[in-house]
Amino acid sequence: MKKLGIFGSTGSIGKNALQVVRNNPDRFKVVCLTANNNVDLLVHQALQFIPETVCISDQAGFRIARQRLRQTGIQVVCGAEALCDLAREADFNMMVGAIVGFAGLLPTLQAIKAGKDIALANKETLVVAGEIVNRLLEEHRVRLIPIDSEHSALFQCLVGEDRSSIRKIILTASGGPFLHKPKEEFNKITVSEALKHPNWKMGSKITIDSATLMNKGLEVIEAHWLFGLSPDKIDVAIHPQSIIHSMVEFVDGSTKAQMGAPDMKVPIQYALSYPERIKNGFNAFNFKKTSRLDFFKPDRTKFKCLSLAYNALEELGTMPAVLNAANEVVVENFLKERIKFVDIPTYIKKTMQKHVVIQNPDLEGILEADQWARSYVRKLLGYN
């Protein structure tokens, strides 16, 4: 039985991961659960799965969780330091890395150092610290399996293949809710409109990233570190149906594509059970009910965040960390209706232009770049 630590259990990935566990109680056991501030759902999950430990970042939530779980024997801890301690010390052998944003980096590094395999949904970990992560994976002989549907698709297409035979990889993107919206109307986009993703049910931050195509840009950087490919070998195609999750084109002209219904439980289960495939009752793609599969080039004049991500990948060093940090701050401000949708790439670009890149940074250098970028964007926005 595989013991799991689900970091970010109350988000969309975490909830789907727990559904996979619920469907396979003889294969997986939950050792720990963590959340940011959704204490009600965390307590509900804890009472269902009875982990050894739960961790919540929010102090008020910590007091509530401790009270509600006081007679269960479940340990309740709180804060960023406790989160890293849990990643390092808890008795699980695979981390489901589903924490949103930069906050997922440090606990993931701790789990790797402790020799625990990683099922990674937190793309920011590789975006900001891919070189460090890959070095630690090799040093500690740890396996990292991607959960993102696109990277899971590429991972599956490459099983048994020689990486030198890759001509390029193609990450697919739905195009989000504004694929066909004229650029001239972007100035009028509201938060509620941006949160209406056509195919996937996700948290608010990643949904906005999908609407700007920053999510795809981050996936491009992540793919560089996962598969060791240069930017010119990583392409993006808009595929509105979200049936082909990504493709690999080989040097002999053949292309492999991984297909399936847009359901995150499938790549999550694959990551948890790899290399085995487990039978399930999830919906499969039905060819008879689909009359067409469309593909388009992304419009980088409309979706400037994608170009910004490619620029960060070309520069590397601390630039991807700056890109990610600036994006997190501006998306938060868009969700609070402090800035417009069209302002998102503008503030990110200004921050990247101001940054002096440090090549081959250590972890301290990455943390400093992250904090600098957040501070600089807040200054641009007019608050500290």
**Percentage of the residues of the chain whose pLDDT score is greater than 90:** 92
Q: List pLDDT tens digits, range 60-82.
A: 999 999 999 999 999 999 999 99
- Give 80's contacts (C-beta < 8 A, 6+ positions apart): 57, 103, 106
Q: Measured between alpha carbons, how far is residue 70 from residues 53, 57, 167 in Å? A: 12, 18, 56
Domain end position, chosen among 146, 180, 207: 146
The better pLDDT of the pair 286, 350 is held by 350
pLDDT on residue 288: 82
Residues 152 and 145: their CA atoms lie apart, in Å, by 8
Residue 384 has pLDDT above 70, yes or no: no
Lowest mean pLDDT among 89-103, 200-214, 229-243: 200-214
β-strands 234-238, 166-173: how paired?
A: parallel
pLDDT band at 200 (very low <50, low <70, confident <90, very high): low
Max Cα-Cα span within the chain: 62
pLDDT band at 198 (very low <50, low <70, confident <90, very high): confident
In a domain, residue 223? The reply is: yes
Q: List pLDDT tens digits, range 307-339.
A: 999 999 999 999 999 999 999 999 999 999 999
pLDDT band at 196 (very low <50, low <70, confident <90, very high): confident
Domain identity same for 321 and 274: no
Domain identity same for 164 and 203: yes
> Could you tell me the CATH number of the domain that includes residue 139?
3.40.50.720
pLDDT on residue 27: 97
3-state secondary structure of 256: strand
Q: List pLDDT tens digits, range 159-170.
A: 999 999 999 999
347 membership: H or E segment, kind and range? helix 343-354
pLDDT band at 203 (very low <50, low <70, confident <90, very high): confident
Q: List pLDDT tens digits, range 29-62.
A: 999 999 999 999 999 999 999 999 999 999 999 9
Residue among 129, 130, 171 at smallest CA distance from 149: 171
In a domain, residue 321? The reply is: yes
Model confidence, pTM: 0.94
Domain identity same for 250 and 118: no
Residues 244 and 258: their CA atoms lie apart, in Å, by 6
Domain identity same for 174 and 91: no
pLDDT on residue 283: 83
Q: What is the mean pLDDT of the chain?
A: 95
In a domain, residue 310? The reply is: no
Domain identity same for 275 and 361: no
Range of the domain at 217: 151-300
Domain end position, chosen among 238, 271, 300: 300
Domain identity same for 112 and 176: no
pLDDT on residue 287: 82
